[in-house]
Amino acid sequence: MKLILLGPPGAGKGTQAERLVKKHGIVQLSTGDMLRAAVKAATPVGLKAKEVMDRGELVSDDIMVKIIEDRTGEPDCANGYILDGFPRTIAQAEALEALMARHGTALDAVIELRVDDEILAERIETRARETGGARADDNVETLRKRLEVYHGQTAPLVSFYSERGMLKSVDGMQSIDEVAAEIDALLQESATA
Catalytic residues: 13, 88, 127, 135, 146
Query: Which of 9-30 are b and which e, b meaning 16 or more Cβ less than 10 Å from the residue's Cβ?
Result: bbbbbbebbebbbeeeebbbbb
Count H helices and E strands in the chain, helices first. 9, 5
Phi, psi for residue 122 in degrees, rounded to 5: -65, -40
How large is the greatest C-alpha to C-alpha distance in the chain, in angstroms?
Answer: 45
Render 133-176 in DSSP notation, one character per residue. Answer: S-STT-SHHHHHHHHHHIIIIITHHHHHHHHTT-EEEEETTS-H
Q: Which positions ≥6 away from 62 have C-beta within 8 Å? A: none
How far apart CA 117 and CA 129 sit, in angstroms, is 19
